[in-house]
Structure 1
């Protein structure tokens, strides 16, 4: 793909519509559940997340702030043409929080670690994602319904070009909320494989006035489950079902984690045993999150059925699970907050303490390094077997 054009922009009432033209031509729409003022420059930034770095040139046949046009060029590595204008950044506040909210464990845990007056914005993609929207709407976020993940097809949508498409809601609602800090439900996850470093705010957000605040960034998948079990035990199952199909391995590993933590925390979640006959098996090491969860679950019970997610669990994995406590999975990595805004730290620390999180000990760091090395080797072996 070389060139893409975004044309015929209409911002009217509670709806934005425009046309995307490249090797496919189709109309995009964004429908708000309330009245929200949006500028054409914000729309251009939203489209930049869809273009990603897949095109050599991007054309907007509508007005885009000249400074933001340069930001889009930097973000997409593309030559950008637009009708030049000057539009003020929509965020003027030096306080306030906005969460891009999906309703899954990660964004739910971020919400419970954030200030009580946090605002939420969610994207309703329809179709396969309908169950996700059905759940998150219970929290009454500002909801934007869009076809951005289904056009021209779900498998070829522009949303596949770059992960920042998840920020479209925050981009389009920037002026409405006028909040300084933005959060995704990002957790340690695969970043556990790397030494924590400073995280910069994506330019599509910083150009509007946002500053990144990753509240859940120091928690693992186990940590986020612990937050939800303590804060919202009655909706654990609904959250699980909202983001995971019946055959999705995410459902299986999160269910096993919840069952382990329910016993440890003495909290009833009503989570049953998953039907592993419905789960397609994967190579051990192929998926980082599933493999890490597998080692954790086996460390708590060497007979844990999570082993059935994999074609085969090597003896070395069982040995690691028996020799490592894996306690770091239930703790918080303070180093992951190296870029966290100073003005928000006190509130974050207080909430982490409320949910019982302790920092890594020296032994935990030793185990983190041992697990990192093991997972890197397992992933390399899985690739060789592919």
Structure 2
């Protein structure tokens, strides 16, 4: 059974729409995944994305951080995706592509192998139905997990004396990382071109009701997505303010944010419900926010507790005074950035082992690629 994200877009003339197949784990769906899907969509007209089950990934790669239902929903919310196929097999076969009427498959320029080391895409490559797109450098699920493992090393050691995950998470939020930096430097280098690729550039139409929401949107997940979907339903145009690293750090604690501002902005921009983003929006909603980008009609917050600004003030004081503040039930308040961090902390050994295997595999793949280049140079 497939999950339709949006109907197929019409194609000019009588040309048959080109259908693209992409598959993957999409664990902790991030802007690197979104960029791969954006590039894949450029090869055709309709993008079908197969997402592997937890069991399939466990067998071939190791444990996932996000549950399969969470991963299915995250992929479906990406604005370049037209259809999601849950429980897609790890091996990409011609029969599978034919079942979904896909003309060819697109994958990043990194090698993906089965548990036995064979190429997942060899059959479609041999059939001439394979295309590659560039992998986004500086981000991966493995790298994000590594950031959290690095940041939580000290309080994970303390866990040996206490079985309380809540205590460990409290230590994490308080910045108890003796001997380790309180923030992790990302290898991602933002460019205006990348931001332009993710932004639609659509302005509100006359009469559109502009909805404003703000937040850190760290480790962008299905809880964020569902909130944005509900907020968008209150108007026609969704403007999202993403707080800068300093603001998030000041309010949330010394180990946050895990992802830097531009990484978080790209993740939000990839969501199909978002029309525009204010990069580095002030933590408190100001008159400038309400008037100088677009005229904001309603300011929305979830039902989760509101963290005060660093001066102790209510960040939503102004929209409340103006009568344009609205609170909506948080659609998935059981899944938060803290929840994801807790999962990593609770299963540290598993994720460290997975990251080691990934690093070893990358080294082997790099050696294979170097050997291939050497052979070509000798010819």
TM-score of Structure 1 vs Structure 2, range by shorter chain: under 0.3
TM-score, structure 2 length as denominator?
A: 0.26
TM-score, structure 1 length as denominator?
A: 0.26
Structure that is richer in helix per residue: 1
